[in-house]
């Protein structure tokens, strides 16, 4: 079975996504999918997620981000292609 080519995506998540465990949720979902990258809070209240991996796994992550953790209220997820950068895992940045 041929390996899928890697892709990279940048997601900007808006809504009630800070102070509700969103970064930990995103990290857990990305780890389950075997993706690499980071998640961090932005000063404007959004959360930024950068992930690299196979396109189907990136789609699975996007779906998880749209759902969010229990106490979040995701109002929108902006998704854009990104340049592939190398990360050793998926981390929470501060």
Catalytic positions: 23, 41
Cα–Cα distance measured from residue 59 to residue 89, given in angstroms and rounded to the nearest whole number: 18
With a CB cutoff of 8 Å and minimum separation 6, the contacts of 75 are 14, 15, 16
Q: What angle do CA 55, 48, 66 make, to 5 degrees?
A: 60
DSSP code of 42?
A: -
Cα–Cα distance measured from residue 20 to residue 42, given in angstroms and rounded to the nearest whole number: 14
């Amino acid at each position: 079975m041929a390996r899928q080519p890697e892709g990279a995506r940048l997601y900007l998540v808006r809504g009630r996504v800070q102070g509700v465990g969103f970064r930990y949720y995103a990290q857990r979902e990305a780890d389950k999918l075997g993706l690499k990258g980071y998640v961090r809070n932005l000063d404007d209240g959004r959360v930024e997620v950068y992930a690299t991996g196979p396109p189907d796994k990136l789609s699975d992550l996007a779906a998880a981000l749209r759902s969010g953790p229990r106490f979040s209220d995701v109002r929108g997820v902006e998704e854009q292609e990104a340049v592939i950068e190398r990360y050793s895992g998926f981390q929470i940045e501060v």
